[in-house]
């Protein structure tokens, strides 16, 4: 019989059972479409999420090559625009001012930062309304966070109050009693952008012309620059150094999407990719087994087909073609379903980085993904068909299992043999099921350990350099002697340190240097290597910046600040407190206050961090200090951007663990169903010998419990160790303390839960096993 005759035989079989096969294949195609659709939706969602920052940057008009911060003085935007390396500049100058509802007093001022210039300097884009007219200083734009905080809407009018430059330089916002109303402005535009994720402080931006309307106190100016073609950041740094006021400028490489936000989005995308991988594995296993069971030929059918003259290859091709039809149809439908669901992504905070919300066809993810999953499923079916046509190997002796079974109770002994040995007619190795399930358990507990450690990092400020109960300052003004004395003499305070931060540059990169002045006790941050700075020519730096600059303990670091260039010796690698806008954690450096004065002779302590005595009440101490100092006392410094972004993705490991838990239960259910199906003859024999329904039920539940306990015992320690390694590598990149939190309570509860759920999953199988008549099972044999 030739190939054409073999194909004819296959077509004949199809015609004979056409209606039943169409119904079966239609049902299989629906299952394939839904399961493949879930996988492809997650794959496309991961790709779309990960690519959002690049697409956002590409969607903006003009490049963002560098950020140049002018530390003080009137904005020198025109001088920057005249540099050969610069193509375009967007600038915004901080104003010592406040916006208040029309006609209200300054005491009703909104909690918002006021700038003069372009909101584009913060990487924001217009999302509603229009851009303020540069020639109309009474128009302004505000961020969405301002609108949410104040309930404002387009067309609302507010009064702008400002502090004159002299009082602002002397006392900062503490000179609010000298503020005057400058103008009445109208909200004409609402803006938003990824920078809001980095710092969600409400912002308002008036045109730069507002600075010419009177005596307006100002501070730093942020300049976002795009470079001329061929120019580099190093070229820009060299040209800035030639300006008469070069010491006023700090420079850093720029991006419309801040680095920390990019890292957070990348981590979120990787989490979705892991979920997609888990879903793909589960889909391949479940759909592959479903298809292979549906199309696999019984031995009698194979014998009939072989007797008609079909070759072995044709006998294999017959069910494989049957599996390919619903797989192909379902895969095509899955691509369409994934496109329809694409509007669900990006999710959570990443939506703020997505430039084109709505449906998006990720061709490079959907088409290859559908082809790959379909091909692997068909490969699974092919292997299953080939194996089913072979003679099963002889039974293997499980000496360890037998030894344990001899010492176990009868039900447990039977369950051990059912779970971890195979019959002579059975080609499936129990070892493979154990190893696969143990691997799932390992990844599950690795994800739990990683997630608990991330939560510990976010919730424990001491791990990112801010072990303070209360803080004062960060308003730009130097703390007075009276304030220092009040802090030092307060009976509830155990330790006080004063801080000040100066923006400098190292090479062409911006570099925050924080000076610390211990007043009482010790608030020293964690030191990984070496020691903190003792002398004025020493500095301790963060691990992240040390790795980026390629320096370590004992090396020299050239720092350029307002006082000129200084060479400092690196004495240690430490966690850097994020004070006065510094990035902190793994970025920047920590010096003595004498060292800070060498870098910037005008620097002064502008903030204080305090630790309370154990018996002190934080609320009472906070209220008393507010009254004695006349300043706002906070519960701690603001969280650094990198910690904020870690907090946004800390749910991903738990989501991965949940998906893995479901996959493990599905795997267990499938293992029990197959095991009991293969052992139906053994169960029937035991029932014929007198085993009652209760005894059979006990065997099934013992099998589920023993299998779960074994895979948990193998996978749990491996997973915890893997979670520790991955977490320490992750935290090492951001420079925080890499203390691992092993959630013993969660691990124990999860183990107990897995055993309980395993028995719940086993209940239907136990019911079928005890209700099946032994005569029927023996007759089938």
Confidence of residue 541 (pLDDT cuts 50, 70, 90): very high
* Weakest mean pLDDT among 108-117, 418-427, 688-697: 418-427
Residue 724: pLDDT band with limits 50, 70, 90: very high
Look at residue 424 and tell me whether its pLDDT is greater than 50.
Answer: no
Angle (deg, nearest 10), helices 430-459 and 652-678: 160
Q: Quick check: 779 and 680 in contact, CB under 8 A?
A: no
Q: CB atoms < 10 A from the CB of 716, how many?
A: 21
Positive or negative: CA dihedral 64, 202, 173, 579: negative
Q: Which residue has the higher pLDDT, 264 or 626?
A: 626
Whether residue 771 is predicted with pLDDT greater than 80 in this model: the reply is no
pLDDT per position as a tens digit, 247-258: 778 787 778 888
**Rounded (to 5) percent helix, strand, coil in the chain:** 55, 20, 25
Q: According to the model, what pLDDT value does residue 697 have?
A: 76
Q: Are 295 and 319 in contact (CB under 8 A)?
A: yes
Contact 610, 570 (CB under 8 A): no
User: Sorting pLDDT into bands at 50, 70 and 90, what band is 89?
Assistant: very high
Q: What is the mean pLDDT of residues 665-675?
A: 73
> Which comes out higher in pLDDT, residue 385 or 277?
277
With residue 407 as reference, give the H or E element that holds it: helix 399-407
Q: pLDDT of 149-158, one tens digit each? A: 899 999 999 9
Q: What is the pLDDT of residue 754?
A: 86
**Residue 91: HSE in the Cβ half-sphere, 13 Å Cα cutoff:** 23
Q: Does 762 score more than 60 pLDDT?
A: yes
585 class by beta-carbon count within 10 Å (0-12 exposed, 13-18 middle, 19+ buried)? buried
pLDDT band, very low/low/confident/very high, at 420 (cuts 50, 70, 90): low
DSSP 523: -
Question: Does the structure show a pLDDT above 50 at 14?
Answer: no
Residue 258 has a pLDDT of 81
| 0.85 surpassed by pTM | no
Checking if the pLDDT of 358 tops 80, the result is yes
Q: What's the rounded Cα separation, in Å, for the pair 200 and 505?
A: 26
Residues 542 and 589: beta-carbon distance below 8 Å: yes
pLDDT at 302 over 80: no
Q: What mean pLDDT, rounded, does the chain reach?
A: 83
Q: For residue 615, what are the CA distances in angstroms to 153, 181, 240, 487?
A: 47, 46, 53, 17
Hey, what are 765's tokens?
Answer: 């199988």
User: 316-357 pLDDT, tens per residue?
Assistant: 677 788 788 889 999 999 999 999 999 989 888 888 888 888
Please give the structure tokens belonging to residue 476.
Answer: 């730009």
Query: What residue segments make up the domains of the chain, in order of their start?
Result: 1-60+258-390, 66-255, 395-465+643-781, 467-636
Bigger pLDDT: 246 or 498?
Answer: 498
Could you read off the pLDDT of 457-476 as tens digits, one per residue?
Answer: 988 888 888 888 898 876 55
User: pLDDT tens, 210-228?
Assistant: 999 999 999 889 999 999 9
Q: Which pLDDT value is given to residue 646?
A: 83
- Let me know: does 132 contact 141? Beta carbons within 8 Å: yes
CA atoms within 13 A on the CB side of 440: 26
Task: Kindly report, residue by residue over 159-218, the tens digit of the pLDDT.
Answer: 999 999 988 887 778 788 899 999 999 999 999 988 888 777 899 999 999 999 999 999
Q: What pLDDT is stored for residue 638 in this prediction?
A: 78
Q: Is residue 160 a contact partner of residue 206, using CB atoms and an 8 Å limit?
A: yes
Give residue-wise pLDDT tens across range 23-77.
767 888 888 898 899 889 989 999 999 999 999 888 877 678 888 888 778 899 8
Query: What is the tens place of the pLDDT at every residue in 504-537?
Result: 888 767 789 999 999 988 888 999 999 999 999 9
CA distances from 688 to 538, 682, 683, 770 (A): 86, 10, 9, 12
pLDDT at 438: 85
Q: What is the pLDDT of residue 70?
A: 87
Query: What does the alpha-carbon distance between residue 344 and residue 74 come to, in Å, rounded to a whole number?
Result: 46
């Amino acid at each position: 019989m030739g190939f054409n005759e073999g194909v004819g035989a296959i077509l004949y079989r199809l015609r004979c059972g056409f209606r039943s096969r169409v119904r079966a294949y239609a049902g299989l195609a629906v299952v394939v479409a839904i399961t493949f659709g879930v996988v492809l939706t997650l794959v496309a969602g991961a790709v779309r999420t990960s690519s959002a920052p690049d697409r956002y940057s590409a969607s903006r008009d003009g490049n963002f090559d560098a950020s140049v911060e002018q530390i003080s003085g009137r904005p020198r935007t025109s001088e920057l625009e005249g540099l050969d390396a610069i193509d375009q500049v967007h600038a915004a100058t901080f104003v010592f001012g406040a916006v208040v509802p029309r006609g209200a007093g300054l005491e009703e001022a909104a909690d918002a930062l006021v700038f003069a210039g372009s909101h584009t300097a913060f990487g924001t884009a217009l999302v509603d309304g229009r851009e303020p007219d540069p020639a109309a200083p009474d128009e302004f734009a505000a961020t969405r966070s301002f609108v949410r905080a104040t309930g404002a809407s387009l067309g609302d009018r507010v009064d702008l109050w400002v502090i004159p430059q002299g009082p602002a330089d002397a006392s900062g916002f503490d000179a609010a009693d000298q503020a005057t109303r400058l103008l009445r402005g109208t909200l004409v535009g609402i803006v938003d952008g990824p920078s809001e994720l980095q710092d969600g402080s409400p912002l308002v931006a008036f045109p730069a012309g507002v600075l010419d309307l009177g005596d307006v106190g100002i501070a730093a100016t942020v300049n976002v620059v795009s470079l001329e073609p061929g120019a580099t950041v190093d070229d820009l740094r060299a040209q800035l150094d030639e300006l008469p006021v070069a010491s006023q400028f700090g420079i850093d490489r720029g991006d419309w999407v801040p680095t920390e936000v990019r890292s957070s989005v990348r981590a979120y995308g990787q989490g979705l990719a892991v979920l997609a991988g888990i879903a793909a594995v589960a889909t391949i296993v479940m759909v592959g087994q479903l298809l292979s069971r549906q199309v696999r030929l019984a031995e009698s059918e194979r014998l009939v087909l072989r007797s008609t003259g079909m070759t072995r290859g044709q006998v294999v091709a017959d069910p494989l073609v049957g599996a390919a039809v619903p797989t192909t149809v379902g895969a095509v439908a899955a691509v369409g379903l994934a496109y329809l669901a694409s509007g669900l992504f990006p999710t959570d905070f990443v939506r703020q980085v997505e430039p084109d919300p709505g449906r998006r066809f990720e061709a490079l993810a959907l088409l290859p993904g559908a082809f790959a999953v379909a091909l692997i499923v068909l490969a699974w079916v092919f292997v299953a068909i080939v194996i089913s046509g072979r003679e099963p190997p002889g039974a293997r002796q499980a000496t360890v299992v037998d030894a344990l079974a001899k010492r176990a109770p009868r039900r447990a002994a039977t369950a051990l043999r059912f779970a971890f040995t195979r019959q002579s007619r059975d080609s499936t190795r129990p070892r493979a099921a154990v190893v696969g399930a143990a691997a799932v358990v390992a990844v599950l507990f690795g994800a739990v350990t990683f997630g608990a450690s991330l939560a510990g990092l976010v919730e424990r400020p001491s791990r990112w350099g801010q072990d303070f109960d209360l803080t004062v300052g960060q308003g730009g003004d130097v703390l007075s002697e009276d304030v220092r004395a009040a802090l030092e003499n307060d009976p509830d305070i155990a330790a006080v340190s004063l801080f000040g931060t100066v923006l400098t540059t190292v090479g062409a990169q911006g570099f925050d240097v924080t000076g610390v002045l211990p007043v009482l006790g010790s608030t020293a941050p964690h030191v990984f290597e070496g020691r903190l700075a003792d002398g004025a020519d020493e500095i301790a730096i963060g691990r992240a910046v040390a790795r980026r600059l390629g320096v370590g303990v004992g090396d020299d670091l050239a720092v350029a600040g307002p006082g000129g260039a200084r060479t400092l010796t690196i004495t240690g690698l430490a966690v850097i407190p994020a004070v006065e806008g510094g990035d902190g954690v793994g970025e920047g450096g920590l010096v003595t206050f004498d060292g800070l004065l060498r870098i910037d002779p005008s620097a002064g302590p502008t903030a204080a961090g305090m630790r309370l005595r154990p018996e002190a009440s934080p609320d009472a101490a906070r209220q008393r200090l507010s009254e004695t100092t006349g300043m706002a006392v906070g519960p701690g410094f603001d969280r650094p951007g990198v910690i904020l972004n870690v907090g946004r993705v800390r749910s991903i490991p738990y989501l991965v663990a949940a998906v893995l838990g479901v996959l493990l239960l599905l795997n267990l259910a499938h293992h029990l169903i197959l095991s009991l199906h293969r052992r139906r003859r053994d169960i029937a024999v035991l029932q014929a010998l007198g085993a009652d329904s209760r005894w059979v039920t006990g065997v099934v539940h013992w099998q589920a419990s023993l299998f779960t306990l074994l895979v948990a015992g193998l996978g749990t320690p491996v997973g915890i160790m893997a979670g520790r390694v991955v977490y320490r590598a992750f935290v090492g990149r951001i420079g925080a303390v890499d203390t691992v939190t092993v959630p013993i309570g969660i691990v124990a509860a999860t183990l107990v839960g897995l055993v309980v759920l395993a028995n719940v999953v086993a209940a239907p199988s136990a019911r079928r096993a005890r209700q099946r008549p032994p005569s029927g099972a023996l007759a089938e044999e």
